[in-house]
């Protein structure tokens, strides 16, 4: 008999090397003996994609979008923009051949990014900025310094306040702020006290100008409430302390702290992290609500051990309604802070620095730790029992929806030692 053998083709189907499906398959497992695993799992999976239908395919390839330059950091903006820091130059990359330079001279340090109100913000421990569309704005603002305060004149006292008492001197307290072109008002300067007659009706201050204008605030004689008494674009201005306008409500605030290297926005508040290596501790500062450039460093903060490497906002529907949490990971542990300020410890192992996690639309955080992939809330380690993976010195992660699947992608750099890796006897 000559020709093809259809009965053999029917009983022995052809399987391409790019598409294999196993009947009983558990993915990648390297924490147990290869003999125990048998053919139910892969011990090593390089350049493969394993679906939730137990299918193993060759992973998709990618091509470089930018083939030139020295990219230090990149971020997808809220309107689909691509912001790239190329050798210290911040660019809005419209296309590979159309790049808008926004600012230059940035330091070569790891960058953290986040988005609020269609603005992209970044910080790296030295630099900090706001990108509004195609415009760069400084995030950390300088504050004024009053160089001279003088009482110019006093009115005549016609009626004594109280018979038998004398009123020869009172204290006026004065400070100033700058106002920026985009409408932000800086933290106030140090308060200057002026001893003068209680009937002083003209005070002159000198202050070096900054941004678009200077606002001067003063109390009345022996008062405690600061009110706007003058605005100027010059260096010297005279005002009447008894004719004040709106109240200054940002006393005791400071600008964005130095050394901030992580940022996260939660319900109108900006959380930023600063590491103190001598104590091996981090401080997470909280901004004033909807004033992301103002911080009260005397009251609004929390201290955590190790170096904070992840800040994520989680908003999730629960039986009690929508709950919000700040998920914090450091080099030694993971914590979750609820909307009432309660801090809960989830794990006592570290989160890998970089872009450590992402949050899905259902309000579940996925993040990369020294022991693999974890989720919260509730906290769960998804991979520790099956796969020991090198955590890397740094990692970049993202949740991606591709070909009908939901994938958590982690790209690591720097190797590292897998936790609890099994070593076969030789």
Q: What integer pLDDT is reported at residue 325 of this predicted model? A: 96
DSSP per-residue codes, 236-271: EEEE-TTS--SBP--TT-BSSPTTEEEEEEETTEEE
129 forms beta bridges with: 122, 138
Is the CB of residue 244 less than 8 Å from the CB of residue 228? yes
Kindly report the pTM of this predicted structure. 0.86
Q: Where are the alpha helices (DSSP H) in 196-335?
A: none
Q: What integer pLDDT is reported at residue 22 of this predicted model? A: 61
Is the CB of residue 180 less than 8 Å from the CB of residue 210? no
Could you tell me the two tokens for 349?
């192992």
Cα separations (Å) of 120 from 113, 282, 289?
7, 24, 18
Q: Count other Cβ atoms within 10 Å, centred on residue 316.
A: 15
Q: How many CA atoms lie within 13 A of 260 on its CB side?
A: 28
Rounded distance between C-alpha atoms, residue 243 and residue 201, angstroms = 9
Structure letter (DSSP) for residue 377: T
Q: What integer pLDDT is reported at residue 79 of this predicted model? A: 85
Q: Count other Cβ atoms within 10 Å, centred on residue 83.
A: 21
Q: Count other Cβ atoms within 10 Å, centred on residue 388.
A: 19
| Residue 12 C-alpha from the chain's centroid | 56
Rounded distance between C-alpha atoms, residue 354 and residue 111, angstroms = 8
Which H or E run contains 406? strand 405-413
Q: If 0-12 CB within 10 Å is exposed, 13-18 middle and 19+ buried, where does residue 176 land? A: buried
Comparing CA positions, the residue from 349, 358, 357 lying closest to residue 416 is: 349
Q: What integer pLDDT is reported at residue 41 of this predicted model? A: 75
3-state secondary structure of 36: helix
Sketch the domain layout of the chain as residue ranges: 16-58, 71-138, 146-239, 260-413
Is the CB of residue 234 less than 8 Å from the CB of residue 212? no
Rounded distance between C-alpha atoms, residue 17 and residue 58, angstroms = 8
Q: How many CA atoms lie within 13 A of 53 on its CB side?
A: 7
Q: Count of residues for the chain?
A: 426
Angle at 299 between CA 213 and CA 308, to 5 degrees: 100
Cα separations (Å) of 158 from 201, 222, 295, 349?
15, 20, 45, 74
Q: Which residues of the chain are under the pLDDT cut of 50?
A: 1-15, 156-163
Q: What integer pLDDT is reported at residue 426 of this predicted model? A: 52
Is the CB of residue 282 less than 8 Å from the CB of residue 307? yes
3-state secondary structure of 328: strand
Could you tell me the two tokens for 245?
């306008």
Q: What integer pLDDT is reported at residue 175 of this predicted model? A: 97
Q: What integer pLDDT is reported at residue 3 of this predicted model? A: 46
| Residue 289 C-alpha from the chain's centroid | 15
Q: What integer pLDDT is reported at residue 31 of this predicted model? A: 73
Q: What integer pLDDT is reported at residue 57 of this predicted model? A: 80
Angle at 323 between CA 317 and CA 329, to 5 degrees: 110
Could you tell me the two tokens for 167?
């009123």
């Amino acid at each position: 008999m000559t020709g093809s053998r259809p009965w053999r083709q029917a009983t022995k189907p052809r399987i391409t090397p790019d598409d294999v499906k196993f009947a009983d398959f558990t993915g990648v497992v390297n924490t147990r003996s290869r003999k125990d695993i048998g053919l139910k799992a892969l011990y090593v999976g390089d350049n493969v994609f394993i679906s939730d239908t137990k299918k193993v395919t060759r992973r998709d390839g990618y091509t470089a979008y930018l083939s030139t330059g020295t990219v230090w950091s990149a971020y997808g903006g809220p309107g689909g923009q691509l912001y790239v820091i190329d050798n210290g130059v911040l660019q809005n990359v419209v296309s590979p051949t159309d790049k808008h330079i926004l600012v230059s001279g940035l330091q070569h340090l790891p960058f953290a990014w986040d988005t609020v109100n269609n603005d992209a913000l970044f910080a790296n421990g030295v630099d900090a900025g706001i990108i509004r569309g195609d415009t760069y704005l400084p995030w950390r603002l300088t504050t004024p310094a009053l160089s001279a305060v003088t009482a110019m004149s006093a009115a005549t006292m016609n009626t004594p306040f109280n018979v038998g008492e004398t009123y020869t001197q009172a204290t006026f307290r004065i400070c100033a702020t700058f106002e920026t072109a985009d409408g932000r008002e800086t933290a106030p300067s140090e308060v200057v006290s002026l001893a003068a007659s209680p009937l002083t009706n003209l005070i002159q201050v000198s202050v070096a100008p900054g941004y678009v204008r200077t606002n001067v605030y003063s109390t009345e004689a022996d008062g405690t409430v600061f009110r706007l008494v003058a605005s100027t674009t010059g260096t010297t201005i005279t005002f009447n302390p008894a004719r004040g306008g709106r109240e200054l409500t940002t006393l005791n605030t400071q600008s964005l702290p130095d050394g901030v290297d992580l940022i996260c926005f939660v319900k109108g508040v900006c959380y930023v992290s600063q590491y103190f290596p001598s104590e091996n501790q981090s401080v997470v500062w909280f901004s004033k609500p909807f004033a992301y450039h103002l911080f009260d460093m005397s009251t609004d903060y929390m201290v955590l051990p190790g170096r904070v490497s992840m800040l994520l906002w989680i908003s999730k529907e629960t039986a009690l309604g929508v709950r919000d949490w700040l998920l914090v990971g450091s080099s030694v542990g993971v914590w979750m802070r609820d909307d009432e300020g309660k801090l809960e410890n989830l794990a006592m192992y570290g989160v890998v620095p970089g872009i450590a996690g992402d949050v899905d639309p259902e309000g579940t955080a996925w993040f990369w730790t020294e022991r693999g992939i974890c989720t919260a809330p509730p906290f769960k380690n998804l991979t520790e029992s099956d796969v020991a993976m090198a955590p890397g010195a740094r990692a970049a992660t993202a949740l991606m929806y591709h070909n009908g699947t939901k994938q958590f992608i982690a790209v690591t750099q720097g190797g590292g030692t897998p936790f609890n890796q099994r070593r076969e006897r030789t």
